[in-house]
């Protein structure tokens, strides 16, 4: 019993030390989340700018392909391109089926033409 009383102050000091270390990080991320929520709610262009900045950072540090996200900013800004993008998204099932059929056609055509023209190309 006496040993357990002696360890309680040590545990409470460790807990206080952990709170002292983690509290600034918690407050920082809490303030970031609150500011992001407020900007999202009251600023109309915030999400567009946030996506632009995140895509730029990812393009610099992860890979160049992340810069493609900037092209979608043009889709949002020009109504004609937005309509084209919506037309593609609305018909994605039909377009994917057409792409699958095209892939099958190319595969069959290549197999047939390879079997037909291999003796002519590689004569012995």
pLDDT in tens, 66-97: 888 888 777 777 888 878 888 888 999 999 99
pLDDT in tens, 21-39: 888 888 888 998 888 888 8
Domain boundaries of the chain, sorted by first residue: 1-43
Estimate the share of the chain in helix, then strand, then coil, as percent rounded to the nearest 5: 90, 0, 10
11 pLDDT band (50/70/90 cuts)? Answer: low
Of 124 and 115, which is predicted with more confidence?
A: 115
- Provide the sign of the torsion angle of the four alpha carbons 17, 19, 20, 26, taken in this order: positive
């Amino acid at each position: 019993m006496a040993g357990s009383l002696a360890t309680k102050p040590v545990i409470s000091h460790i807990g206080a030390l952990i709170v002292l270390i983690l509290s600034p990080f918690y407050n920082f991320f809490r303030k970031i989340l609150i500011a992001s929520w407020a900007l999202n709610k009251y600023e109309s262009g915030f999400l567009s700018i946030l996506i632009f900045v995140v895509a730029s950072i990812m393009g610099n540090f992860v890979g160049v392909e992340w810069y493609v996200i900037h092209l979608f900013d043009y889709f949002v800004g020009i109504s004609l391109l937005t309509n084209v993008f919506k037309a593609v998204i609305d018909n994605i099932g039909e377009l994917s089926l057409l792409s699958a059929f095209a892939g099958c056609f190319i595969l069959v055509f290549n197999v047939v033409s390879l079997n037909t023209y291999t003796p002519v190309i590689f004569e012995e």
